[in-house]
Structure 1
Amino acid sequence: MTHMLSAPRHAVSVPPASARGGRRGVGGAVVAGPLFLVAGVAQGLARDGFDFTRNAISQLALGEAGWIQTVNFLLTGALLIAGAAGLRRVLRGGAGGVWGPVLVGVFGASFWAAALFPADAGAGFPEGSPDVAAISGHGAVHMAAGMAGYLALCAAFLVLARPLAARGHRGWARASRLAPVAVLAGFGASAASVLAFTAGAGLGLLGLAAVTARLATARADR
């Protein structure tokens, strides 16, 4: 009788094949950030009039070649959402298994919103644009989406610290808890330096790639 009662408890465990599929799915979140940054930096270096000390990467979606950055936004969002789905499978039934993937998914969706509602021209980009421009409706939505997305990312770092600690990766857990500080510090300094904003956003993207990669391989290391 005891054996019969205990059997269903084993039935809810994640099959090895499902866990492997989840780890492959997390790869979307691992590559999304580096891919977005490499594509953004390459465009910034190639586009006439773009200055990393004055312009945000989001502005690369403006102008004749802006479609490249729009695709970059859409692809990054898709990879992050796919990564969130894989993360859900990896963390299923454990710490952070619900809110971690949800928050990463919200972060991914913010990139889609940024693609649909482009940033405003300004600071001389695209060439001929005024240094100071009024905020348009689509520009306001773009900024709101970015703010919501990065707040979700900061919350995701805090949530994902729990499964990292539970798997014995306490150093990674501490780093995950500190990552929001670096992101928010960069955003806080954006009024003085666009580079600070870009650095904060970039650290968030690279930090998520590192944390999700660690979680994707953590089970195999135990």
Structure 2
Amino acid sequence: MTTVEQRPKNRPRSTDKALLTAGIAAGPVYLGTALAQALTRPGFDLARNDVSLLAIGPHGWIQVANFVVTGLLVLACAKGLRSTLIAIFGAGLIAAGVFTADPAGAAISWHGALHIVAAGIGFLAFTAACLVQKSGYSRATGIVFLAAFGGVASGSANPVVVIGFWVAVALAFGWLGVTAVRATRTINH
């Protein structure tokens, strides 16, 4: 068994397996919770409404909790991956839950502005985490995610833009899960 001192700098320890597993779980938790709400919330339209709008209203606490729990899972994974950029993404998710979005068409409030800023910083950090990788899959994920984020950040409610962002979010969490799985395979038992 190797000691920490003998372990290559970027190779995870066996104690990191649980942290990496959190990253594998993050996507299914986030997407499953968001889609369950989107499909059962009266008036919510997957083709026109951003997931952040689920944090509004009497059942908004569910999406707030989804943002926070998913952010904590991503933070755990970031620790296992030793990735500051992924940690910023996780922190952005948590802050996006704490500072809820404003209803569509409403004036931007202070908490709505902080929601946008927190999500934006987190999404840009995620994109950077993808782009610094050597694989084409990672870089493609970062580019697609950045383009989709740009589309929804423009305020567009065009169904192609909104659905494109939902797909990009699924792709992003897929990338995180694959990255975590690959890292668990390098753990020396």
Does TM, scored on the shorter chain, surpass 0.5?
A: yes
* Partner in structure 2 of residue 80 of structure 1: 74
Question: Which whole-Å CA distance do the structure 2 matches of 1:116 and 1:188 have between them?
Answer: 22
* Partner in structure 2 of residue 148 of structure 1: 121
Q: CA deviation at 1:219?
A: 5.0
Question: Which whole-Å CA distance do the structure 2 matches of 1:55 and 1:11 have between them?
Answer: 48
Question: Which whole-Å CA distance do the structure 2 matches of 1:36 and 1:11 have between them?
Answer: 33
Residue number among 175, 196, 216 corresponding to 2:164 in the alignment: 196
* Partner in structure 1 of residue 103 of structure 2: 121
Aligned partners of 2:130 and 2:138 also within 8 Å: yes
Length-normalised TM-score, structure 1 = 0.73
Residue number among 148, 158, 175 corresponding to 2:137 in the alignment: 175
Q: CA deviation at 1:201?
A: 2.4
Aligned partners of 1:23 and 1:87 also within 8 Å: no
* Partner in structure 1 of residue 46 of structure 2: 52
Length-normalised TM-score, structure 2 = 0.85
Question: Which whole-Å CA distance do the structure 2 matches of 1:12 and 1:202 have between them?
Answer: 37
Aligned partners of 1:176 and 1:211 also within 8 Å: no
Q: CA RMSD in A?
A: 2.0
* Alignment-mate amino acid for residue 109 of structure 1: A
Deviations 1:182-216 (A, max 9, x none): 11222233334322222222321221111221222
Residue number among 131, 139, 147 corresponding to 1:158 in the alignment: 131
* Alignment-mate amino acid for residue 7 of structure 2: V
* Partner in structure 2 of residue 29 of structure 1: 23
Q: Structure 1 regions of 5+ residues with no counterpart? A: 1-9, 89-100, 123-131, 163-172
Aligned partners of 1:23 and 1:216 also within 8 Å: yes
* Partner in structure 2 of residue 106 of structure 1: 88
Question: Which whole-Å CA distance do the structure 1 matches of 2:178 and 2:45 have between them?
Answer: 28
Q: Point out the structure with max Rg over C-alpha.
A: 1
Question: Which whole-Å CA distance do the structure 1 matches of 2:151 and 2:106 have between them?
Answer: 20
Aligned partners of 1:107 and 1:152 also within 8 Å: yes
Q: How many residues align?
A: 177
Question: Which whole-Å CA distance do the structure 2 matches of 1:174 and 1:69 have between them?
Answer: 32
SS at match of 2:92: helix
Q: Structure 2 regions of 5+ residues with no counterpart? A: none
* Partner in structure 2 of residue 136 of structure 1: 109
Is structure 2 residue 12 aligned with structure 1 residue 12? no
Aligned partners of 2:4 and 2:13 also within 8 Å: no
**Alignment identity in percent?**
38
Question: Which whole-Å CA distance do the structure 2 matches of 1:197 and 1:11 have between them?
Answer: 41
Question: Which whole-Å CA distance do the structure 1 matches of 2:77 and 2:109 have between them?
Answer: 32
**Higher RCO (CA-CA < 8 Å; seq separation 6+):** 2
Q: CA deviation at 1:11?
A: 6.9
Question: Which whole-Å CA distance do the structure 1 matches of 2:95 and 2:21 have between them?
Answer: 22
Residue number among 59, 63, 71 corresponding to 1:65 in the alignment: 59
Question: Which whole-Å CA distance do the structure 2 matches of 1:218 and 1:179 have between them?
Answer: 23
SS at match of 2:13: helix
